């Protein structure tokens, strides 16, 4: 979609790394979000309505850092103004992209639960010596207040960034005597070699070193889900007996209401 002589252009690259097939519920969220974005009326600071374009890039690789590097290269190559990282095992509200874009900051992402049990948030501030001390929790109070919180790092499940940050990364690299900002992503052992630091932590540290702030949008975060496959046993069936009965009654009531409406229309 090309911009007109009257309207400025807004182009966003959607970057999706996959290993295997994307989750169907993720594809449903993605389709709804893209449709909402095209229907939304987004305006510049001067009140001009944007002509909008989305460029969806999907890279399949068993090496996550390779996928992310290739996706960043594609976004730079296509001339996007922003890139939205979307991991293919998440669900999110249809207005997520518009809400993140409206924050008008260099980097803004979402906090979400890790795909393990017991779980914990992905966003963190490096304030203590242990992981538990550093975690940033998204609460219902923060979500209702639409709070924005500066963090040291968060996950790439849903994260929007201006492409201009790569200029900042390049400038910082050159100021330190390096030719370029690569690598952007790496998984490294922690100080005592008891765990591995994720590629998201590596990337956002580079951003902070370059003077960039990483923001967490707690409002959108509250509505993001991390898809996790679960083993269901009879113990679950027993504890969820009452909920199952209520759900079936609700479903029957919906069918009966629809049947009554059709009979009344005849």
CA separation for the pair 115, 117 (Å, rounded): 7
Residue spans per domain, the chain: 9-226, 234-265
State which CATH number among 1.10.357.10, 3.90.550.40, 3.90.1150.10, 3.10.580.10 fits the domain covering 9-226: 3.90.550.40
CB atoms within 10 A of CB 3: 14
- The pLDDT tens digits of the residues spanning 159-211 come to 999 999 999 999 999 999 999 999 999 998 877 777 788 899 999 999 999 99
Residue 5's pLDDT band, with cuts at 50, 70 and 90, is low
- The pLDDT tens digits of the residues spanning 204-219 come to 999 999 999 999 999 9
Two tokens, residue 219: 């409002």
pTM here is: 0.86
The whole-number average pLDDT for the span 237-257 is 88
- The pLDDT tens digits of the residues spanning 48-97 come to 999 999 999 999 999 999 999 999 999 999 999 999 999 999 999 999 99
Quote the pLDDT of residue 42.
95
Buried b (16+ CB within 10 A) or exposed e, 235-254: eeeeeeeeeeeeeeeeeeee
pLDDT at 1 over 50: no
């Amino acid at each position: 979609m090309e911009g007109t002589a009257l309207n400025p252009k807004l182009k966003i690259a959607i970057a999706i790394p996959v290993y295997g097939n994307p989750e169907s519920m993720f594809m449903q969220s993605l389709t709804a979000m893209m449709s909402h974005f095209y229907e939304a009326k987004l305006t510049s600071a001067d009140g001009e309505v944007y002509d909008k374009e989305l460029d969806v890039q999907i890279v399949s690789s068993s090496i996550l850092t390779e996928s992310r590097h290739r996706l960043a290269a594609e976004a730079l190559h296509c001339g996007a103004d922003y890139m939205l990282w979307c991991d293919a095992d998440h669900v999110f509200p249809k207005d997520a992209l518009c809400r993140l874009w409206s924050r008008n900051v260099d980097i803004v992402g979402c906090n979400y639960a890790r795909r393990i049990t017991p779980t914990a948030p992905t966003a963190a501030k490096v304030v203590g010596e242990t992981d538990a001390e550093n975690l940033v929790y998204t609460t219902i109070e923060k979500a209702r207040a639409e709070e924005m919180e500066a963090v040291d790092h968060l996950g790439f499940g849903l994260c929007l960034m201006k492409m201009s940050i790569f200029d900042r990364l390049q400038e910082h690299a050159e100021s330190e005597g390096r030719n370029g900002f690569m690598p952007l992503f790496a998984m490294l052992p922690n100080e005592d070699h008891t765990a591995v630091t994720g590629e998201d932590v590596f990337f956002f540290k580079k951003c902070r070193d370059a003077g960039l702030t990483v923001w967490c949008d707690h409002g959108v975060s509250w509505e993001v889900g991390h898809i996790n496959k679960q083993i269901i046993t009879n113990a679950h069936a027993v504890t969820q007996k009452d909920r199952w009965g209520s759900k079936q009654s609700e479903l029957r009531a919906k069918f009966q209401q629809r049947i009554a409406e059709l009979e009344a229309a005849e």
